[in-house]
């Protein structure tokens, strides 16, 4: 229970702190065909936190689903039940992470729809709740899962590489401090993850925000483009650079958010579980931490 509370609080705080950079990233990803007034600049200070409500609200549920599926699948692959897994095989770590990421699309797809649309809406007082209601009113449950395929692919590959990079980094770092090791490993894992899936994230953003964007002139306004259509259109109009719009903003956010998240997690765990003192137990309990993409 302490792990869940600590990881949920740390995850929510990291989301809020990293949201201004995430707004910039999403607006850059949405492309040059987006509404002209939507640039990397913030209209007001409140706009820095647009879209944050959706991931904060779903953080606890996603966190629980991610780690239950990750831990159970890793136990199955390692054939090691009800015992601590000190050094899991990196291949099994990747497979367990990929499976858990695939499972979380049930929560992450609606969250991403609401978050991204709130961040690029050309309305001064837009809220995540209004975006969710408008999406449901227009397309029902299907609207909330628009872009679900590319989102599930992004999450599956992303969490696979995140867990893999985190374990590999922890094993490679020769630091005596377990806290410093987990902080640095978490930051490295965040950067590795986004470097491997960033083009998919750009495509996902354009799929999910396309109704707010000006479609190419050869398409009728009601038409929608698939993920493959967007992938082709990005290359045709922007070349390979188009797949990495906002990439460096994302890299800075990835390291910062994960470092803050791990620091808060360790601090809250010390408050909730004062008896936790051994480095070994700290290393094991970090598997319950929320990995924020």
pLDDT tens for each residue of 67-118: 889 888 999 998 877 666 778 899 999 999 999 999 999 999 999 999 999 9
User: What's the confidence (pLDDT) of residue 79?
Assistant: 85
Residues near 236 by beta carbon (within 8 Å), at least 6 away in sequence:
none
Segments forming the whole domain that contains residue 226: 2-288
* Within-domain flag for 283: yes
Which residue has better confidence, 122 or 181? 181
Which among 216, 255, 218 is positioned nearest to 238, based on CA atoms?
A: 216
* Within-domain flag for 111: yes
The CATH code of the domain that includes 258 is: 1.50.40.10
- Percentage of the chain with pLDDT > 70? 81
* Within-domain flag for 293: no
Q: What total of structural domains would you count in the chain?
A: 1
Q: Residues 52-80: what's their mean pLDDT?
A: 89
Please state, in angstroms and rounded to a whole number, the distance separating the CA atoms of residues 90 and 168: 7
Tell me: pLDDT of 222 over 60. no
Q: How many CB atoms sit inside 10 A of residue 290's CB?
A: 27
* Within-domain flag for 58: yes
What is the SS3 string spanning the chain?
CHHHHHHHHHHHHHHHHHHHHHHHHHHHHCCCCCCCCCCCCCCCCHHHHCCCHHHHHHHHHHHHHHHHHHHHHHHHHHCCCCCCCCCCCHHHHHHHHHHHHHHCHHHHHHHHHHHHHHHHCCCCCCCHHHHHHHHHHHHHHHHHCCCHHHHHHHHHHHHHHHHHHHHHHHHHCCCCCHHHHHHHHHHHHHHHHHHHHHHHHHHHHHHHHHHHCCCCCCCCCCCCCCHHHHHHHHHHHHHHHHHHCCHHHHHHHHHHHHHHHHHHHHHHHHHHCCCCCCHHHHHHHHHHCCCCC
Which among 291, 3, 13, 264 is positioned nearest to 160, based on CA atoms?
A: 291
* Within-domain flag for 150: yes
Please state, rounded to an integer, the average pLDDT across all residues of the chain. Answer: 82
Please state, in angstroms and rounded to a whole number, the distance separating the CA atoms of residues 58 and 22: 17
Please state, in angstroms and rounded to a whole number, the distance separating the CA atoms of residues 200 and 198: 5
Tell me: pLDDT of 167 over 60. yes
* Within-domain flag for 181: yes
User: What's the confidence (pLDDT) of residue 195?
Assistant: 95
* Within-domain flag for 82: yes
pTM, to two decimals: 0.83
* Within-domain flag for 64: yes
């Amino acid at each position: 229970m302490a792990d869940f509370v600590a990881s949920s609080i740390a995850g929510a705080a990291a989301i809020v702190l990293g949201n201004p950079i995430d707004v910039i990233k999403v607006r850059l990803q949405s492309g040059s065909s987006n509404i002209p007034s939507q640039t990397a600049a913030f209209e007001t200070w409140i706009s820095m936190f647009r879209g944050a409500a959706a991931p904060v609200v779903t953080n606890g549920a996603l966190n629980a689903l991610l780690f239950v599926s990750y831990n159970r699948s890793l136990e199955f692959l390692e054939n090691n039940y009800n015992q601590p897994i000190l050094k899991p095989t990196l291949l099994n770590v990747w497979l367990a992470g990929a499976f858990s990421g695939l499972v979380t699309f049930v929560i992450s797809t609606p969250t991403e729809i609401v978050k991204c649309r709130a961040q690029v809406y050309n309305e001064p007082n837009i809220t995540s709740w209004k975006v969710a209601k408008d999406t449901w009113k227009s397309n029902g449950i299907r609207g909330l899962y628009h872009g679900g395929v590319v989102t599930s692919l992004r999450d599956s590959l992303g969490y696979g590489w995140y867990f893999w990079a985190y374990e590999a980094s922890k094993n490679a770092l020769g630091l005596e401090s377990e806290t410093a090791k987990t902080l640095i490993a978490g930051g490295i894992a965040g950067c590795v993850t986004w470097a491997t899936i960033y083009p998919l994230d750009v495509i996902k953003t354009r799929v999910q925000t396309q109704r707010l964007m000006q479609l190419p002139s050869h398409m009728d306004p009601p038409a929608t483009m698939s993920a493959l259509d967007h992938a082709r259109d990005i290359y045709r109009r922007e070349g390979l650079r188009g797949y990495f719009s906002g990439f460096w903003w994302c890299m800075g956010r990835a390291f910062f958010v994960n470092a803050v998240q791990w620091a808060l997690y360790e601090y809250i765990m010390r408050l909730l579980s004062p008896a936790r003192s051994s480095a070994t137990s700290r290393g094991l309990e970090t598997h319950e931490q929320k990995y924020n993409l």
